[in-house]
Amino acid sequence: MHHVIRRDELPPSPNRTVEFQGEPYRAGISFFLVDNEPGEGPGLHKHPYAETWIVRSGRASVTAAGDEVEAGPGDVVVVEADTPHAFRNLGPGRLEIVCIHAAGRMATEWLDA
């Protein structure tokens, strides 16, 4: 069995992020295709599984477990399960990043509320 999910079946949110939940397709991963303006990015949060980011273009400031690093095109960042993390676009251009969740259904606990 296989599935082809066409671009128009995964419409972007108002901030241009595309979300894919793998569970309906029996996939063990889920992901976000993020396309952020400078300064944009999610607040501090964590997941009960690892998350892997692949920077496609732009520059990101990644905070994980209190450490801050910069990641650019081609860089891969992995945060382990239950690690508080966040990222934001450092600019000056757009940030395109793939956020891979090691789970068929994403689960997020927001920590900066």
Is 55 a member of any domain? yes
Within a domain: 82 = yes
pLDDT at 99: 98
Angle at 108 between CA 34 and CA 31, to 5 degrees: 35
Cα separation, 51 vs 22, whole angstroms: 14
Q: What are phi and psi of 109, to 5 degrees?
A: -110, 115
Give the CATH number of the domain where residue 92 resides: 2.60.120.10
The full DSSP string for 39-91 is T----SEE-SS-EEEEEEES-EEEEETTEEEEE-TT-EEEE-TT--EEEEE--
- Can you list the residues of the chain whose pLDDT is less than 70? 113
The per-residue pLDDT for 15 is 85
Domain residue limits at 25: 7-110
Looking at residue 113, what is its pLDDT?
A: 62
- Number of folded domains that form the chain: 1
